Amino acid sequence: MNAWARLPALVRAVAVGLAVALAGGVPWSRLVVLNTEYLPSLPWASLVMAPVLWAWWQYFAKGRGGPRSTASARTLGARANAVPDNLWGPAIGAGLLGLFATLMLQGVIARLVVLPQQKDIDPSQYPLFTVFAWLVMSAAVAGVVEETAYRGYLQGGIERRHGVAAAIIVSGTIFGLSHFTHPEIGIVLLPYYLAVSAVYGLLAAATNSTYPGMVLHAGGNLFSAFGLFAQGRSSWSVSAAPPPTIWQSGVDGAFIGSVAAFVVVGGAAVVAYRGLFAEARRRVKPTSGGLAG
């Protein structure tokens, strides 16, 4: 047995998941920086990234390319499995409720601590078409790469050995810490990333596919980016203007309403996820067989 195989499953899953995420995310971040400096009148970074993302998908999700000895492990790790038609609706519905509940949770947290303001490029410095192309490609990269890496390779590897709960907690923590490369993001936002990761992670666990998470992740990133550029609202904030904390203003009706909204929407999300898991289990056909004589 080689040294890699002797490592704990959790360590291997984290290492591979991070490597897969970096392989897809770093090229795009470098291309955008270069595009802001060279010929920003054209969104050439998005054009270059399209075949890069396709090649990344073929290798890490579809198991194509060498070495062939790792092809089956790559397809298993990616979790890019087809979703039955009757699970798409419940999965997207549960995911949307989960994301909405996460926003409601942030509304509560924003009254307890001061949340940072999200920072990004100034869109007024670049042509509208260029910014739009960057936003679309950024959303695609985030949805495809991060779901494959974190909910596929990382969560799936831990899930098969230690169960869903441990896998979501570990993958969510790593997912959150990976965003700490942005200077404005710190420990106060870790609960937000844990909640978002749970939303996508439960979808992957229920459907055994990263596709529903990809759709919601890409769509959510695009929606958040438009909110940031058009209204100045951070991805993790309910409103652009930070509200006063309860330590400043006291417990008021707005805070009580935020807590009530989180409880109601969060409860609805729990019910929706329970229904999704139940529907997914009904699709699993029991294997027939008996004892060999």
Q: From first to last of its 293 residues, what are the pLDDT tens digits of the chain?
A: 588 888 999 999 999 999 999 999 999 999 999 999 999 999 999 999 999 999 999 999 999 998 999 999 999 999 999 999 999 999 999 999 999 999 999 999 999 999 999 888 888 899 999 999 999 999 999 999 999 999 999 999 999 999 999 999 999 999 999 999 888 889 999 999 999 999 999 999 999 999 999 999 999 999 999 888 888 888 988 887 889 999 999 999 999 999 999 999 999 999 999 999 999 998 765 433 333 32
DSSP class of residue 285? P
Tally of CB atoms within 10 A around 131: 19
Beta-carbon contacts of 271 under 8 Å, excluding residues fewer than 6 positions away, are none
> Which pTM value belongs to this model?
0.93
Can you read off the two tokens belonging to residue 84? Answer: 């039955």
Comparing CA positions, the residue from 60, 27, 227, 228 lying closest to residue 137 is 27
| 205, burial (CB in 10 Å: exposed 0-12, middle 13-18, buried 19+) | buried
Domain boundaries, the chain: 3-282
Q: Is-contact 68 144, C-beta < 8 A?
A: no
- Which string of b and e fits 269-282 if b means at least 16 CB within 10 Å? beebbeebbebbee
